[in-house]
Structure 1
Amino acid sequence: MRIKTKKIMVVFGTRPEAIKMCPLVNELKSRNNFITKVCVTGQHKQMLDQVLESFRIEPDYNLHIMKENQTLFDVTINILDKIKEVLDYEKPDLVLVHGDTSTTFVTALAAYYNQIAIGHVEAGLRTNNIYSPFPEEFNRQAVSIIARYNFAPTINALQNLMRENIDRSTIYVTGNTAIDALRTTIKQDYKHPIIDWAKGSKLILITAHRRENLGEPMRHMFNAINRIVSEFEDIKVVYPIHLNPIVRNLANEIFSNNARIRLIEPLDVVDFHNLMNASHLILTDSGGIQEEAPSLGKPVLVMRETTERPEGVEAGTLKLVGTEEKNIYDSFKLLLTDVNEYQKMAQSNNPYGDGFSSKRIVDIIEKNFWSE
């Protein structure tokens, strides 16, 4: 008997997207009734390649859109132009996109123009401020309007979509695929030179790169961290620094004379997750870390004015500290000096999933395709 198949195209372009979509790709490829095609836009390049290698995924298409000093206009035009040929040739039954990047929005738009069904993984995150984060808040809201499947990671995300009058029959609560990735990347016997360097100290992990924080907000963030490191001799800081030259120049300016702050190149996903696991606490303006760290029992100070992940704040594992130097300094110092405050955050439950979100998503697609 011939097995009926459907063609699924998974499209992503940045490192954070890849971390969350690679477990889903591998789940799709484990099913014999799907033909799975992977298209990467190359919105990130080296950082994206590291993740693909870690999950042993070879893309069927790479649009190679990345170029030096690219703007949002460049990204949008280049993806829209190049992905049309791929969609025309492959004619997938469903295109899966993730989250809120320019790759996500433009790919969904192209699929919509071709009248191809869209599945939106990590749907329903909201700050309800169209410029924070920018342009991500617009991107994710726009994709929800045209998606046939909205895979919401939490009940809160589902409620956000329903408030926007998104058809309830398109929304499925699945958990977050970020937690799936951790199940395969965390190693109990992991070793790294940074862990050896920090031995006997509390290792603090930093990430900072968000577009709306460039300039003075980021200067305030870095100044607060620098002050704390100067005051507390029992901590060491590692900062896998983003490739953006604006971020690098400012970090070098502020941190270069502090021997207990290490600026290192971006890490592959296995190294990054395991350094996160080895850290005492994390300061970030990233989104994905807000979901991953609670699974590892790591308190997170979120250096942003808004977060689309309020579940972590409500659970107590995240604290939104903004970008003002004093607020970051005070919150950072409190977690270093108050054991009870630290333990409250470290022992909070993770509201983002159990590591089986990819299986749920593929089960939903499978069931719906063959019942339609």
Structure 2
Amino acid sequence: MQQRKLFFFIGTEAELIKLFPVMWQLTQKGVPYAIIASGQNDLKTSSVLQALNGGRVDLELSDEKTIRKTAAGLLAWYFSTWRSAKARLTAAFGADALRGGVMVVHGDTVSTMMGAYLGRSLGMKVAHVEAGLRSHNWLSPFPEEIDRVLTSHKATLHFAPGPEAVENLRKARAKGRVVDTEYNTIIDSLAYSRSVPCKNEAVQALRDGTPYFVFVMHRQENLANKKLVEAMVARVTAQAQTVRCVMILHKPTEVTLAQMGILEKLQADPRFTLLPRVEYFDFMKLLDGASFVITDGGSNQEELAYMGKPCLIMRDRTERSDGLGENARLYGGDLQAVDDFVRDYTRYRRPAVTPAQSPAACIADALCAATED
């Protein structure tokens, strides 16, 4: 059996979604790899992992159920997991197999940083997918900006999704090799989602019915601002008089709306469809069928840019340039921007993007080459 030299260190489902097409490419090539889950999210229940390999994780370092959903709880989890991780990795795969292997991490979570630091401490090369994105503000988004910068210091192979990210790495004098993948791997995941049938009956019914728009607001900095929550609910309620509103209820969103006495009113409003988090491939279908989208999700910004879908980004600033000035408008703390976007969202429609090359295929080829160096 061919020895595994590639190790994917994954913490959240968002990371899994973007690494999925890279691992899919390696699977098609017959290249072995291992999946290490930090436990920040329970990946084994993910429909994305089910599609990849039936839900297999080679090593899970912790259990999501034990993590308190607070900043302090996440910090405590990080150090607790870190203390035992190196020994557990060595026991599972062997020091010789790890030394000289490639630890692949993605994005900007605390798990990203953990995987990069573990990889270097074990004598591994570190490959960072979606490298070079910067908001140039250490506190926004927090802690993502810090995670990215610290991860880049440990990486020796940087996969940057476009010229702006490449330039950021050049200015930071990033060590090692920088590979411009031109696009984010999310474009490959999006293409795959279009190739599989919709499983969620509610999503399929929406796509077959009347026009709708999607509203997603789940980031803590937005939910903590009660005046903003009230203002946004009032605006989407007004818009729902003419176009149905499909609202995604992440657990923090549901809790906040319930505490504010808003949830029950929305549940009783026939112009709203309230959905819990939808599995990724069906969620892409939901976004693809929408007239427009209002969201505070960073990955959503990328996905919608590739779809050419009108999008309002509910963030003060963003480390991503995808779609800005084209299909996307940044809220930037100005409610007037929300009103202007909703009033004239059709002017933000753009053709869908078709890449000349698959970013995932580019990354898979470079990872294979890195195991032979």
Aligned partner of 2:297 in structure 1 is 286
Aligned partner of 1:13 in structure 2 is 11
Aligned partner of 2:178 in structure 1 is 171
Q: Which is worse superposed, 254-263 or 131-140?
A: 254-263
Aligned-residue offset at 1:121: 0.3
Q: Secondary structure at the match of 1:310?
A: coil
Aligned-residue offset at 1:194: 4.1
Match status 1:208 vs 2:214 = no
Aligned partner of 1:104 in structure 2 is 112
CA distance in structure 2 between the partners assigned to 1:52 and 1:254 by the alignment: 35
Aligned-residue offset at 1:46: 7.2
Letter in 2 for 1:20: K
Q: Structure 1 residues 239, 75: closer, same or farther in 2, change over 3 A?
A: farther
Unaligned runs of 5+ in 2: none
Match status 1:235 vs 2:243 = yes
Counting only pairs closer than 5 Å after superposition, residues 129-168 of structure 1 correspond to structure 2 as 129-167=137-175
Contact (CA 8 Å) 1:65, 1:78: kept in 2 or not? no
Aligned-residue offset at 1:264: 1.6
Scaled by the length of structure 2, what TM-score is found?
0.86
CA distance in structure 1 between the partners assigned to 2:215 and 2:178 by the alignment: 34
Contact (CA 8 Å) 2:203, 2:282: kept in 1 or not? no
Aligned-residue offset at 1:250: 2.0
Aligned partner of 1:338 in structure 2 is none
CA distance in structure 2 between the partners assigned to 1:212 and 1:112 by the alignment: 33
CA distance in structure 2 between the partners assigned to 1:107 and 1:149 by the alignment: 14
Letter in 2 for 1:154: G
CA distance in structure 2 between the partners assigned to 1:55 and 1:226 by the alignment: 41
Letter in 2 for 1:155: P
Deviations 1:236-263 (A, max 9, x none): 122222233xx22223433431322232
Aligned-residue offset at 1:48: 6.0
Q: Secondary structure at the match of 1:181?
A: helix
Contact (CA 8 Å) 1:8, 1:95: kept in 2 or not? yes
Q: Determine which of 268, 278, 299 is the counterpart of 2:279.
A: 268
Letter in 2 for 1:153: P
Q: Which is worse superposed, 66-75 or 291-300?
A: 66-75
Q: Secondary structure at the match of 2:5?
A: strand
Contact (CA 8 Å) 2:158, 2:179: kept in 1 or not? yes
Q: Which is worse superposed, 54-63 or 291-300?
A: 54-63
Q: Structure 1 residues 37, 46: closer, same or farther in 2, change over 3 A?
A: closer
CA distance in structure 1 between the partners assigned to 2:170 and 2:352 by the alignment: 25
Letter in 1 for 2:56: E
Deviations 1:147-186 (A, max 9, x none): 010000111100011111113x510011211111111111
Q: Secondary structure at the match of 2:69?
A: coil
Q: Determine which of 39, 43, 67 is the counterpart of 1:42.
A: 39
Q: Secondary structure at the match of 2:265?
A: coil
Aligned-residue offset at 1:331: 2.3
Deviations 1:121-167 (A, max 9, x none): 00000000011111000000111111010000111100011111113
Deviations 1:206-227 (A, max 9, x none): 22222333311x6514532433
Letter in 1 for 2:254: R
Residue identity (%):
25
Matched residues, number: 355
Contact (CA 8 Å) 1:179, 1:292: kept in 2 or not? yes
Letter in 1 for 2:24: N
Aligned partner of 2:339 in structure 1 is 329
Contact (CA 8 Å) 1:285, 1:303: kept in 2 or not? yes
Scaled by the length of structure 1, what TM-score is found?
0.86
Q: Determine which of 294, 299, 305 is the counterpart of 2:316.
A: 305
Q: Which is worse superposed, 38-47 or 107-116?
A: 38-47
Aligned-residue offset at 1:118: 0.5
CA RMSD of aligned residues (A): 2.6
Contact (CA 8 Å) 1:47, 1:266: kept in 2 or not? no
